[in-house]
Chains A and B, each alone.
Chain A
Amino acid sequence: MKFAIALYSAAHAPSSRRALRFAQAALAGGHEIVRLFFYQDGVHSASSNIVTPQDEQDIAQQWAAFVSQHQLDGVVCIAAALRRGVLNEDEAARYQRPGINLQAPWELSGLGQLHDAIQSADRLICFGGP
């Protein structure tokens, strides 16, 4: 089955960890992930500036490693990310901000990527939110 996965929560939220475990299980089960789309506070799950205590899971780092390892399409909503200070090199330069906290494998793009994923997936699975 082809899954699109949307995440609306930051890396410290249980739903971010659950989304990651679901995504890992989907691939392990022979399914396909057409795209990950991080929206709302989910943009924080892609931040490369998160530091967790040594005895805790670093879910943001695990997300990035998972996306890289499987060469997945990891899209972070640009409007939601800018609003929350999640910036890649281009956006930090464009808005003259001092910090970069979004890097490969993540890509900033628009909501059209969510609709495109919805069209090509059999199922959209959403994690987090109200």
Chain B
Amino acid sequence: MPKSLLIISRQAPWAGPGAKEALDIVLACGAFDLPVALLFLDDGIFQLLANQNGAAIQQKNLTANLQALSMFGVDDVYACSYSLSERGISPAGLAVADVQSLPVEDVRALIDRYDQVITL
């Protein structure tokens, strides 16, 4: 039984390579068929916004990669509802369809369910 892994992504998409490097860990996990989940927390929430224009700052959009998560076998994708409301973002308008809004009280239980946790 392979160990399960939770990635907690906490960095805004344009704050440096952090967001992409967190996602790369998730995608590599999917390629190895390991049980994995992804939680967007704090400024990581900004990765989920629709209509981002990375080209305006000569950067690549991450949105298409996030939308492809299920194709890579990553189905458990969560967004902390407190982080969303703190930033005035409605869960309804997110660019990633299958992301589940998770009450902050449940974040602890989520972390508890996984064998290993990586926060980036």
Contact = CB atoms under 8 A, between A and B. Distances in A.
B18 A40 contact: yes
Given A40-B18, A115-B34, A130-B10, A79 B24 contact: yes
A83 B16 CA distance: 12
Contacts of B18: 40, 129-130
B118 A40 contact: no
Interface in A98-130: 110-112, 114-115, 118-119, 123-124, 126, 129-130
Centre residue among A40, A123, A129 by max chain B CB count within 10 A: A129
Contacts of B3: 118-119
A130 B22 CA distance: 11
A123 B115 CA distance: 8
A86 interface: no
Contacts of B32: 112, 115
Interface residues of A, number: 19
B24 A111 contact: yes
Contacts, number: 46
A6 interface: yes
Interface string A14-38: 0000000000000000000000000
A80 B3 CA distance: 24
Given A40-B17, A111-B28, 17 more contacts: A6-B118, A39-B21, A40-B18, A40-B21, A80-B21, A83-B17, A110-B28, A111-B24, A112-B28, A115-B5, A118-B5, A119-B2, A119-B3, A123-B116, A129-B119, A130-B18, A130-B119
Interface of A: 6, 8, 39-40, 79-80, 83, 110-112, 114-115, 118-119, 123-124, 126, 129-130
